[in-house]
């Protein structure tokens, strides 16, 4: 048995039965990282030494009989979630030396449950991108096909899980950044309802859209990680005071009687690649055979979602990224003797091209004379998009589509055409605009053996329905058991 | 909507970014494309539609205004990552001539 290949729930079983020890499991994972990561490029920082101490603590908790399901489980963390004493770079030059003095709430929660942290993983700089090529360090490659991108922005998270260089990972999702890389790497990814998981300690990209969530090898693991990180937090003023159910409890309830909506605007486009379409259609057949009922619904403002998003997200980003000024943290251009030139040179040297592009778009959209035409207009269209979903959820329990119109792309493919990349976010972006929970679950492979993911969107705070649907589907398929041959 | 090179430079300046001519021209073309796409929003009738700033109705999070003890020195923590610091303060280039 190779321990690094285990899922979280398989490993937890063995750990709690004392058939394996947390240290053995951690050592197996770190050995895997040492032998593979030069090729994959998932990790920015590996924290083996601290992990061994955490493994000892987990063992103590297991021996004391006080262990949580995550005790001793090796988890990687996207490098924009603050970790006390461990570098948090956002894959940006401007934060290359930033060491937080506090833990994000999700990290505090995982620590209190004796999880073991493998390290910090790669991403598009400040989570801006969908290929992980915008990392200031290096691109991460797709474990299924190394000349392909793993997707992004949580590409390091997805690749580290798919290549078994951790058992689960935390990523963040502003427009699809958990679900799309999960789909491209053949794993499960969940973007929880906005407000479900505390954003305290998550470096902000677009504050009204950002949400932290799990990337895992299967649905049960996603439910376990979501259990561990959810809940109201006084430190995040947008955190929701909602009860958190045990997300593993209803996994086996089945889909009988569930009404699943198929948004006609999503399927009536010729942009969906044939293999993706056929994998999605097969998934629909499987869920039908399990007792789900499918209804055609309409989300009339779908055509405007990407445009609305690419005003709102850069606008919020331009404001959030104003804090990088060479004064409080990060790098500073020490050659400048005037404040203004110090700001400008520090920021110009510290930010990469995509980040600059979005800051400029956002600053433009918020600038005097353009605010009404862009930001206000986009925020009004956002209201209409939310209303579309309200109406859809009057007749169905969840919505289904592909995660992405195409599988993972070849690295470098779209580097000069940002708009084309933005347009591929069409199925994932609306969940962020509307604050809905959504997830990706593996549903097949293309003829080139690239993974395809199925996208499920649910009502606010109804992650449980998504998870039980994904679980039911997963039981009828073997896609989640396939591992890349590397 | 087209955005001129001059406008790109102006907006970059507002955002405290310096861009060279080559980047200015590249961004002018790319951002122009993106803005033309965004202009499709004009087709949507948004009369009397209230803009959304947050997808969920949130209430302001109030608490008593009281000093709470914290671990360690707040000042030391705040300054821990400062590129330049002195006597418990951030150091910046001279502001007043």
Nearest Cα to Cα of residue A181 among A344, A336, A173: A173
Q: CA–CA separation, A291 vs A294, rounded Å? A: 10
Dihedral sign for Cα A453, A208, A154, A217, please. Answer: negative
Least confident span in A293-307, B17-31, B54-68? B54-68
* Inter-chain residue contact B56 with A310, CB threshold 8 Å: no
The mean pLDDT of chain B is 90
Q: Is A340 an 8 Å CB contact of chain B?
A: yes
* Inter-chain residue contact B34 with A422, CB threshold 8 Å: yes
Q: CA–CA separation, A426 vs A408, rounded Å? A: 15
Q: Is B90 an 8 Å CB contact of chain A?
A: yes
* Catalytic pick among A177, A239, A315, A472: A177
Residues of A with CB below 8 A from B46's CB? Answer: 377, 380-381, 384
Q: What are the distances in angstroms from CA B27 to CA A347, B12, B22, B24?
A: 17, 10, 9, 5
Chain B residues 14-73 with a CB less than 8 Å from chain A: 14-19, 23, 27, 30-31, 33-35, 37-38, 40-44, 46, 49-56, 58, 60-61, 63
Q: What is the pTM of this model?
A: 0.97
Predicted confidence (pLDDT) at residue B72 exceeds the cutoff of 70: no
Task: Please give the sequence-ordered ranges of beta strands (E in DSSP) within A217-297, or none if there are none.
Answer: 259-263, 293-297
Judged by DSSP in three states, A173 sits in strand
Nearest Cα to Cα of residue A158 among A166, A147, A150: A150
Residues of B with CB below 8 A from A322's CB? Answer: 15-16
Chain A residues 230-289 with a CB less than 8 Å from chain B: 234, 237-238, 240
Residue B97 pLDDT class (50, 70, 90 cuts): low
- pLDDT means over runs of 10, chain A (486 residues): 94 98 98 98 98 98 95 98 98 98 97 98 97 97 97 98 98 98 98 98 97 98 98 94 96 98 93 96 98 98 96 97 97 95 97 97 93 95 98 98 97 82 92 98 97 98 98 97 92
List, in order, residues 6 or more apart from A58 with CB less than 8 Å away.
Answer: A15, A22, A67, A71, A72, A114, A115, A116
Q: CA–CA separation, A470 vs A218, rounded Å? A: 9
* Catalytic pick among A153, A157, A183, A308: A153
Residues of A with CB below 8 A from B15's CB? Answer: 318, 322, 347, 359-360, 363
A19 CB neighbour count, 10 Å cutoff: 10
Predicted confidence (pLDDT) at residue B61 exceeds the cutoff of 90: no
Nearest Cα to Cα of residue A206 among A98, A306, A93, A321: A321
The reply to whether ipTM tops 0.85 is: yes
- Number of C-alpha atoms within 13 angstroms, CB side, residue A78? 33
Angle between the N-to-C axes of helices A48-64 and A22-40, in degrees from 0 to 180, rounded to the nearest 10: 150
What is the signed CA dihedral for A400, A405, A406, A408, rounded to 10 degrees?
-70
Judged by DSSP in three states, B45 sits in coil
Q: CA–CA separation, A213 vs A171, rounded Å? A: 6
Judged by DSSP in three states, A54 sits in helix
pLDDT in the model for residue B71: 66
Core vs surface per residue A339-365: b (16+ CB within 10 A) or e: eeebbbbbbbebbbebbbbbbbbbbbb
Nearest Cα to Cα of residue A189 among A231, A225, A149: A225
Residue A453, beta-bridge partner list: A442
* Catalytic pick among A28, A76, A78, A154: A78
Q: CA–CA separation, A68 vs A61, rounded Å? A: 8
* Inter-chain residue contact B41 with A195, CB threshold 8 Å: no
Nearest Cα to Cα of residue A403 among A195, A67, A158: A158
> What six digits make up the tokens of A288?
């039908």
Q: Is A97 an 8 Å CB contact of chain B?
A: yes
Q: Is A78 a catalytic residue?
A: yes
Which residue in this structure is represented by tokens 């690419």? Answer: A310
Tell me: domain A1-486, CATH 3.90.1300.10, correct? yes
Chain A residues 410-449 with a CB less than 8 Å from chain B: 418-419, 422, 433-436
Predicted confidence (pLDDT) at residue B56 exceeds the cutoff of 90: no
Q: Is A153 a catalytic residue?
A: yes
């Amino acid at each position: 048995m190779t321990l690094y290949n285990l899922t979280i729930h398989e490993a937890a079983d063995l750990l709690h039965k004392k058939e394996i020890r947390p240290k053995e499991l951690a050592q197996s994972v770190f050995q895997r990282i040492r032998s593979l990561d030069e090729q994959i490029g998932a990790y920015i920082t590996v924290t083996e030494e601290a992990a061994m101490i955490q493994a000892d603590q987990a063992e103590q908790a297991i021996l004391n009989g006080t262990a949580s399901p995550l005790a001793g489980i090796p988890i990687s963390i996207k490098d924009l979630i603050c970790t006390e004493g461990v570098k948090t770079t956002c894959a940006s030059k401007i934060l290359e030396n930033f060491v937080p003095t506090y833990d994000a709430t999700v990290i505090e929660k995982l620590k209190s449950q004796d999880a073991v942290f493998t390290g910090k993983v790669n991403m598009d700089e400040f989570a801006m991108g969908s290929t992980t090529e915008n990392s200031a360090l290096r691109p991460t490659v797709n474990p299924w096909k190394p000349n392909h991108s793993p997707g992004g922005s949580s590409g390091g998270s997805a690749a580290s899980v798919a290549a078994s260089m951790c058992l689960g990972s935390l990523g963040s999702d502003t427009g699809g950044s958990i679900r799309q890389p999960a789909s491209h790497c053949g794993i499960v990814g969940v973007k929880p309802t906005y407000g479900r998981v505390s954003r305290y300690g998550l470096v902000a990209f677009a504050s009204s859209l950002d949400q932290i969530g799990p990337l895992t090898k299967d649905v049960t693991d996603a439910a376990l990680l979501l259990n561990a990180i959810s809940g109201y937090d006084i430190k995040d003023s947008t955190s929701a005071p909602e009860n958190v159910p045990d997300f593993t409890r209803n996994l086996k309830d089945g889909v009988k009687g569930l009404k699943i909506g198929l948004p006609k605007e999503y399927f009536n486009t010729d942009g969906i690649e044939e293999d993706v379409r056929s994998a999605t259609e097969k998934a629909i057949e499987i869920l039908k055979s399990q007792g789900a009922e499918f209804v055609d619904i309409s989300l009339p403002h779908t055509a405007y979602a990407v445009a609305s998003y690419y005003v709102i997200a850069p606008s919020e980003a331009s404001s959030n990224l104003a804090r990088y000024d060479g004064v409080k943290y990060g790098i500073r251009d020490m050659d400048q003797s005037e404040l203004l030139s110090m700001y400008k040179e520090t920021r110009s040297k510290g930010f990469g091209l995509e980040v600059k592009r979005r800051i400029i778009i956002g600053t433009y959209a918020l600038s005097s004379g353009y605010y009404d035409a862009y930001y206000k207009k986009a925020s009004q269209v956002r209201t209409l998009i939310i209303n579309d979903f309200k109406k859809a959820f009057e007749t169905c329990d969840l919505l289904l589509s592909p995660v992405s119109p195409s599988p993972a792309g070849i690295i470098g493919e779209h580097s000069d055409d940002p708009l084309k990349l933005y347009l591929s976010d069409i199925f994932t972006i609306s969940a962020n605009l509307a604050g809905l929970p959504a997830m990706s679950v593996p549903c097949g492979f293309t003829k080139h053996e690239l993974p395809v993911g199925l996208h499920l969107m649910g009502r606010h705070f109804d992650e449980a329905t998504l998870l039980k649907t994904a679980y039911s589907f997963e039981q009828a398929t073997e896609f989640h058991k396939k591992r890349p041959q590397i | 909507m087209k955005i001129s090179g001059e406008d790109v430079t102006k907006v970059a300046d507002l955002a405290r970014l310096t861009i060279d001519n080559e980047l200015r021209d590249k961004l002018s073309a790319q951002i122009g494309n993106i803005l033309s796409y965004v202009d499709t929003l004009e087709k949507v009738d948004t009369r009397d539609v209230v803009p959304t700033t947050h997808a969920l109705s949130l209430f302001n999070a109030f608490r008593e205004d009281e000093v709470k003890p914290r671990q360690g020195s707040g000042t030391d923590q705040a300054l821990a990552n400062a590129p330049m610091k002195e006597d418990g303060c951030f150091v910046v280039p001279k502001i007043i001539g």
